[in-house]
Amino acid sequence: MSYERANIRRMAGYAYGEQPDDATVVKLNTNENPYPPSPCVMQALAAFDAEALRRYPSAAADDLRHAVARRFGLAADQLVATNGGDEGLRLAITTFVDPGAVIGMAEPSYSLCPVLANVQDCVIAGVPLSEDWSLSANFAAHMNNAGAKLTCLVNPHAPSGRLIDAAYVSRLAGELDGVLLVDEAYVDFVAPECGHDLTRLVAEHDNLLLLRTLSKGYSLAGLRVGLLMGDAGLIAPILHKTRDSFNVSAIAQHVAAAAFADADYARKCWRRIRTERQRLTAGLRTLGFAVPGSQTNFVLAEAPSGVSAATLQAMLRTRKLLVRYFDQPRLERCLRITVGKPEHNHALLAALAALLER
């Protein structure tokens, strides 16, 4: 006999990227940072007093929140720390969207978003992205007409890597009737010359939530620390009501603060990844792939005419090279490829060249 709710029984869960145990496998499938965390992380771990583990951590991760607030010119009550960015998404949905209400999103998007919407038993109002992966001109109107309580936007976009500029996001927040959640998981990899910064918009829009994570830019995917930023009135119900008690562990708070403080090391890694992103994009285009410009730590590569992306993924796997394939509309001819170290990207390009020649 099944005891689960009817909507849970009907839905499918999130499909995780493969996590192999074999250390010789080159993982370019889950958008992990190829470089290790800051040396400050190891120092913080070594200095951590295990005696502290018998006590509960800071309930609201006060030290970490204050450090982040200072960096971005915000107040501490405009931030909440979460157990990874994914918990931030879940908290936004459970706080602002009634079961049965509407959640809006662009399609395709981060594949966890519709899963979380289904968990909350919500209606999804999806608007297909244009051919160049841009939002349609009437996106806000469509969301308002659908009655969306929350609109989720991944920026830079996953899986295309396209960046929506701050002016457009500001205009969108002003036009929407509900809350606008901008998932900025990959914002650390945006080229500095873009001058991109949405944190200043927090003071201008009381319906804007920004989601950050230390998983990508700070090489801490295994630690699970995220951040939600927004107007204090938007943050308060999450911080004081819907957030799980002691949701970020003492070790996670301690290590995340150390990594976040070493901004110079993080920026050095981001610069390396941007350089390799450019080289990987050029190499894929030379092989006949269509690759839109990316501002993330991955690229989306559409296979040459007559070549199956699914087959390429499977054949790369036999060579211990993992990339991501999504069997869904707009993506069935594409591979999403994480930007790795130079040797990883070279191995991938060489393998693709050999496979395409065959």
Same domain flag for 209 and 271: no
Predicted confidence band of residue 242 (pLDDT cuts 50, 70, 90)? very high
Same domain flag for 212 and 321: no
Same domain flag for 241 and 291: no
Same domain flag for 208 and 340: no
pLDDT score of 4: 94
Query: Coil, strand, or helix at residue 152?
Result: strand
Same domain flag for 247 and 284: no
Does residue 1 belong to any structural domain of this protein? no
Asked whether the predicted pLDDT for residue 227 surpasses 90, the reply is yes
Tens of pLDDT, residue by residue over 137-172, are 999 999 999 999 999 999 999 999 999 999 999 999
Same domain flag for 216 and 254: yes
Does residue 69 belong to any structural domain of this protein? yes
Same domain flag for 187 and 83: yes
Tens of pLDDT, residue by residue over 48-97, are 999 999 999 999 999 999 999 999 999 999 999 999 999 999 999 999 99
Q: Nearest Cα to 28, choosing from 348, 246, 353, 260?
A: 348
Predicted confidence band of residue 110 (pLDDT cuts 50, 70, 90)? very high
Tens of pLDDT, residue by residue over 250-299, are 999 999 999 999 999 999 999 999 999 999 999 999 999 999 999 999 99
Q: Which of 261, 277, 304 is the last residue of a domain?
A: 261
Tens of pLDDT, residue by residue over 112-138, are 999 999 999 999 999 999 999 999 899
pLDDT score of 2: 83
Same domain flag for 141 and 59: yes
Tens of pLDDT, residue by residue over 305-333, are 999 999 999 999 999 999 999 999 999 99
pLDDT score of 358: 82
Asked whether the predicted pLDDT for residue 1 surpasses 80, the reply is no
pTM: 0.96
Place of tokens 């993992």: 322
CATH number of the domain that residue 319 is part of = 3.90.1150.10
d(CA 134, CA 190): 17
Query: Coil, strand, or helix at residue 82?
Result: strand
Does residue 353 belong to any structural domain of this protein? yes
Nearest 5°: phi and psi at 200? Answer: -65, -20
CATH number of the domain that residue 212 is part of = 3.40.640.10
Does residue 4 belong to any structural domain of this protein? no
d(CA 31, CA 17): 9
Asked whether the predicted pLDDT for residue 337 surpasses 80, the reply is yes
Does residue 104 belong to any structural domain of this protein? yes
Q: Give the count of domains, the chain.
A: 2
Q: Which of 220, 237, 261 is the last residue of a domain?
A: 261
DSSP 324: B
Task: Find the domain containing 154 and state its range.
Answer: 39-261
DSSP 241: I
Instruction: Print the SS3 string covering 187-228.
Output: HHHCCHHHCCCCHHHHHCCCCEEEEEECCCCCCCCCCCCEEE
What percent of the chain stands above pLDDT 90? 98
pLDDT score of 259: 97
Is residue 241 classed exposed, middle or buried when 0-12, 13-18 and 19+ CB atoms within 10 A define those classes? exposed
Structure tokens at 248: 């970020």
Does residue 7 belong to any structural domain of this protein? no
Same domain flag for 248 and 288: no
Does residue 163 belong to any structural domain of this protein? yes
Same domain flag for 251 and 314: no
Mean pLDDT lowest among 7-11, 37-41, 281-285? 7-11
pLDDT score of 309: 98
Same domain flag for 233 and 162: yes
Asked whether the predicted pLDDT for residue 338 surpasses 90, the reply is yes
Same domain flag for 73 and 21: no
208 has which bridge partners?
A: 180
Q: Which of 202, 233, 261 is the last residue of a domain?
A: 261
Does residue 313 belong to any structural domain of this protein? yes
Asked whether the predicted pLDDT for residue 185 surpasses 80, the reply is yes
